[in-house]
Amino acid sequence: MWYQQRQGDADTLCDRGVVIGGDPESCLKVLTLHEAAGCDQMMIMIQTDTILHEKVMQSIALLGRCVILACKKSEEDPAKLSSCS
């Protein structure tokens, strides 16, 4: 479709840092891009309209367990933002 050709597919948007999505490592990669550009705060929104409740809850759990935890660790050591461990 013309919209996808103009805007790019989801992977391209994630690679460019326009959209944060995918597994926790992919999300951290994009957050690292934003941090390098000077962003020190980010508002995260999960789209829930067409996604099953169980998948939304799994996404929220991964966000908290991996992404937010990695961000908190990076406050102590900035090198840790690139890892979900």
Q: Does the predicted model carry a pTM greater than 0.75? A: no
Give the burial class of 76: count Cβ atoms within 10 A of its Cβ; 0-12 exposed, 13-18 middle, 19 or more buried.
exposed
What residues contact residue 14 under an 8 Å CB cut-off, 6+ apart?
A: 20, 21, 22, 26, 30
- The pLDDT score that the predictor gives to residue 14 is 79
Does residue 78 have a pLDDT over 80?
A: no
Of the candidates 49, 50, 48, 42, which has an alpha carbon nearest to the alpha carbon of residue 67?
Answer: 42
| pLDDT tens profile 21-48 | 888 998 888 888 888 898 888 888 887 8
Interatomic CA distance for residues 21 and 11, integer angstroms: 9
Domain residue limits, the chain:
2-82
